[in-house]
Structure 1
């Protein structure tokens, strides 16, 4: 998971929010499409939580969208508290399908798993991301026990029924292979620094699961 820097909200969303009776549920298709497009570009076409590529290219069950608008602060919380979060652009992310339609709750991930639960980890809040690290086997974890529970339980990012852990592991192994190929047994810190700068400079179309790459490269820069 990496920090998402929110830009200016889409003009059509701003206009729509100012209309009498505006609500997320009744949002026009044209407004929604512009919103999704901007969220995707803002996030480099990666899911805000698992960092898989979106829109998803795989076949999905009928009626399941390849990209979903997620509200970090639930727009329909159990306590019914409505503070305008449904149409607040800063409260919105683009996310993957989360395995919706699979017929098994244990396989749900990301916002499909989270539902109306409140979470502490926030891709827009760098302070909640600082304690996140990875293991060489692809596991994502946090030194903050609440955020670690978010990652494992409320978002299910290490679940045995998903491919996230294996995908992160493969991406990391590919990077390590390339570093060894370029640097051999020599000092790798300069090469890692350049690779990190290149990755961090990417705007749209970021590398899927890039969080584990950034973590590893930062560890190997002197």
Structure 2
């Protein structure tokens, strides 16, 4: 999971919601452009153009606006900006296999979840060199999120494996210094020109694991 630090919702979105009156109630189902596009673009920017769940690179076309707490069960959070993220797999795509927001759908347990907004969300997951994702220790909510988001499918494992092996090859692992790991963390925790590359957080997290964090 990729941590998201929320910014301010776009003005167009705020102004559209403020039009509510006795005869008209705004809801996500009737949100249209340009307000919907402004919302989507805002979410992409604050996430550095990567999915909030798997960390893969996304664009407006390859992502959708995701309700962390599903609309079906949390109607009052339908337009709550803190509940909205950008998740990979666009609304018009036929995801095979489905993962992240498309896999989660309406599945949600208020007592067993990890949110991208949680300060410690990334440290609650671990990665292996072959790209597998695991819950840290016996973290049941983290394990639950891996399952409902399908974060451990072969498609994602293979992409993460390729990225990890490009940095942590046998030569590096045989002779790395603490300073090198700290430099990797510093580099991959910060976007370049406002954007991350796919699975940057996985690289940073694996370096942290080598440091025993």
> Could you tell me whether the CA contact under 8 Å between 1:98 and 1:113 is conserved in 2?
no
> Could you tell me whether the CA contact under 8 Å between 1:68 and 1:96 is conserved in 2?
yes
Name which of structure 1's ranges 18-27 and 92-101 shifts more when overlaid on structure 2: 92-101
Q: Which residue of 149, 163, 177 maps to 2:144?
A: 149
Cα offset for 1:201?
A: 2.5
> Could you tell me whether the CA contact under 8 Å between 1:98 and 1:109 is conserved in 2?
no
Show structure 2 runs of 5+ residues with no match. Answer: none
- Rounded to whole Å, the distance in 2 between the matches of 1:178 and 1:135 is 14
Show structure 1 runs of 5+ residues with no match. Answer: 57-64
- Rounded to whole Å, the distance in 2 between the matches of 1:88 and 1:178 is 46
- Provide the TM-score with structure 2 as the length reference: 0.84
Going from structure 1 to structure 2, the CA distance change for 1:73 and 1:25 (only over 3 Å counts) comes to same
* Correspondence for 1:130: 123
Q: Which residue of 196, 206, 213 maps to 1:216?
A: 206
> Could you tell me whether the CA contact under 8 Å between 2:2 and 2:51 is conserved in 1?
no
Cα offset for 1:50?
A: 1.5
Going from structure 1 to structure 2, the CA distance change for 1:173 and 1:187 (only over 3 Å counts) comes to closer
Task: Report the aligned-residue RMSD.
Answer: 2.4
- Rounded to whole Å, the distance in 2 between the matches of 1:219 and 1:129 is 11
- Provide the TM-score with structure 1 as the length reference: 0.81
> Where do 1:89-108 residues align within 5 Å?
89-97=81-89, 100-102=93-95, 107-108=97-98
Q: Does residue 117 of structure 1 match 2:113?
A: no
- Rounded to whole Å, the distance in 2 between the matches of 1:188 and 1:219 is 14
Cα offsets for 1:104-129 (capped at 9, x unmatched): 6xx21111111111151211112444
* Correspondence for 1:16: 16
* Correspondence for 1:174: 166
Cα offset for 1:145?
A: 1.9
Cα offset for 1:46?
A: 0.6
Number of aligned pairs? 201
Name which of structure 1's ranges 171-180 and 40-49 shifts more when overlaid on structure 2: 171-180
